[in-house]
Amino acid sequence: MTATRLITSAILMLCLGTLAARADIVAKIDLSSQRMNVYVNGAAKYTWPVSTARRGYRTPVGTFRPQSLQRMHYSKKYHNSPMPHSIFFRGGYAIHGTGAVKSLGRPASHGCVRLHPANAATLYSLVQNHGPRNTRIVITR
- For 80-125, write each residue's pLDDT tens digit: 999 999 999 999 999 999 999 999 999 999 999 999 999 999 999 9
The second-level CATH assignment, the architecture, of 23-140 is Beta Barrel (2.40)
Task: Specify whether the CB–CB gap between 96 and 111 falls below 8 A.
Answer: no
Number of H helices, E strands in the chain: 2, 9
pTM: 0.84
CA 14 to chain centre: 26
**How is the beta sheet containing 113-115 ordered, strand by strand?**
68-74, 82-90, 93-97, 113-115
Residues 67, 90: contact at Cβ < 8 Å? yes
